[in-house]
Amino acid sequence: MIVVDLRDLGLDRGGHLLVKRALGRSAAGDAVAVRGSAPGLAVDLKAWCRSQGHEVEADDGGWKVRRSATADGRWRRAEATGDPSAVVDDAPAHWGLAARGATVEAGAPAFDFPLHTRDAIWADEAAALYAQAAAAQWDPATAIPWQTPIDLPDEVEDAIVQILTYLIENETAALVVPARFAAQVHPHFREVMQLLAIQAADEARHIEVFTRRALLRRSRLALSTVGGQASLKTLVDEADFALASFLLSVLGEGSFLNLLRFLHEHAPDPVTQAVMRLTAQDEARHVAFGIAHLTRHVEADPGFLTRLASAVERRHDALAETAGLNEEVFDALVLLAAGAWQPEAIERGWDAVQTLQRAMEDGRRQRLVRIGFAADAAAALSALHTRNFM
């Protein structure tokens, strides 16, 4: 039998740790002898044993503590949350904020996490995408050559500022949506929660660099239109995670990837070029998660394609009376691609923007097919996507 001699150390001053350690080294049902001279030790030891589920009795000038045949103390009615490397189909509300793989004490409060099922949010790629995102974070202060002189014609600078103003409000919507849903994800699905959080951080960084570039040579930003805000409001208002992910990431941010690459190609200065390259790098991950999540969702429930199609049609109908893409943004894109004011240059710029829009449509169709739509349905839905790109 293990003997624990506490001497004059009371349980109220840490003595319980020595008793707990001895019991931990004993088999269930075995006894540990406890000795000690601290005042009140008899009372404290009985109370502690009762709270931990152990039996205690006086024995030869000390006490004999017999380890519970079940788990110790608060672990007696505890529940394991599973393998830390695996996810369950439905995470119970009473698991709350406990880490996956932890053991939850009985009586823990229930938390309201609406997104608590594997089918609703999971993608096997989430962990890898999060790791990639964490490794690829860049510092706006050092990753972009802000000190590079910029001396553009006023019309070109104004065009850049108008495009950046448009990008800022779109990226704000792209921040709000994942941030809102991140707070609804059950922490059991921590990879998805972390990925949505880092997506929001990406968008915050994009807003920062777009704003900083816009104000390098101007004191204010440009025009925000009713049509543009109305289009983005339909994204912010979408209450269903899968539908919001579909509209934002698969359709909107996917189209934005084409736009950012276009702006990188036609950027008139190194600062703008670096801004577009780095933001496109982040957006590609956002699109990848949307596709992975929705592909899995559709594989589990092919009928979900009908809901996705209805979401596109509903959004199209809601925006039918809006003007679509900001006219100033369109003209600014033409000017950047033209690079000059000669008629033949403007025609070249116009053609480049038409090519951009066709590339956006082709990309949307390909992503729609990838998540499960037939080619003809994908083409029809792509054609209904908002003219505001996002």
Nearest Cα to 15, choosing from 42, 72, 67?
A: 42
Residue 74 confidence (pLDDT) above 90? no
What distance in Å separates the CA atoms of residue 253 and residue 14, rounded to the nearest whole number?
A: 57
* Same-domain pairing of 215 and 358: yes
Q: State the pLDDT at residue 177.
A: 97
23, 32 Cβ separation under 8 angstroms: yes
Average pLDDT over residues 168-196: 97
Instruction: Check pLDDT > 60 for residue 129.
Output: yes
Name the residue among 36, 78, 193 with its Cα closest to residue 127. Answer: 193
Tokens 């529940």 map to which residue? Answer: 79
Please count the structural domains in the chain. 2
In a domain, 72, yes or no: no
Residue 96 within a domain: no
- Helix boundaries (H) for the chain: 15-24, 41-52, 118-121, 126-135, 140-143, 154-182, 190-214, 226-237, 241-245, 254-266, 270-300, 304-318, 327-338, 343-371, 375-384
As given in the structure block, the two tokens for residue 122 are 């999971």
| Residue from 109, 116, 2 nearest 64 by CA | 2
Phi/psi-derived region of residue 206, left when phi > 0, alpha when psi is between -120 and 50, beta in every other case: alpha
With respect to residue 372, please indicate whether it lies within any of the assigned structural domains.
Answer: yes
Domain that holds residue 351: 118-384
C-alpha to C-alpha distance for 278 and 205, rounded to whole angstroms = 10
User: Is there a domain that residue 112 lies in?
Assistant: no
Q: pLDDT by residue (tens digit) across 246-299?
A: 999 999 999 999 999 999 999 999 999 999 999 999 999 999 999 999 999 999
- Residue 71 pLDDT > 80, yes or no? no
Lowest mean pLDDT among 64-73, 178-187, 317-326: 64-73
Claim to verify: residue 202 and residue 328 sit in the same structural domain? yes
Say whether both 209 and 285 belong to one domain.
Answer: yes
State mean pLDDT over 82-87: 89
Could you tell me if 6 and 148 lie in one domain? no
**Which residue in this structure is represented by tokens 């702006």?**
263
Does 87 fall in a domain? no
Joined together, the tokens standing for residue 276 give: 């577009």
Asked if the model's pLDDT at residue 103 lies above 70, the reply is yes
What pLDDT is stored for residue 322 in this prediction? 82
Residue 325 is predicted with a pLDDT of 82
**Residue 75 domain-assigned (yes or no):** no
How far apart CA 52 and CA 207 sit, in angstroms, is 54
| Structure tokens that stand for 342 in this block | 């000669």
At residue 64, does pLDDT exceed 90? yes
Residue 94 lies in a domain: no
User: Is-contact 235 167, C-beta < 8 A?
Assistant: no
The predicted structure's pLDDT at residue 260? 98
In this structure, of 11-20, 68-77, 120-129, 201-210, the range with the lowest mean pLDDT score is 68-77
Least confident piece of the model among 110-119, 152-161, 340-349, 381-390: 381-390
56 & 122 share domain? no
* Average predicted confidence (pLDDT) for the chain: 94
The CA distances from residue 108 to 94, 193, 272, in Å, are 6, 21, 52
Question: Tokens representing 194?
Answer: 């972390």
Report the CATH number at residue 50.
3.30.110.40
User: Measuring CA to CA, which residue among 20, 14, 174 is closest to residue 2?
Assistant: 20
Looking at the DSSP bridge assignments, the partners of residue 64 are: 33, 57
Nearest to 130 by CA among 180, 198, 201, 189: 198
- Pair (153, 59) in one structural domain: no
Q: Are 156 and 336 in contact (CB under 8 A)?
A: yes
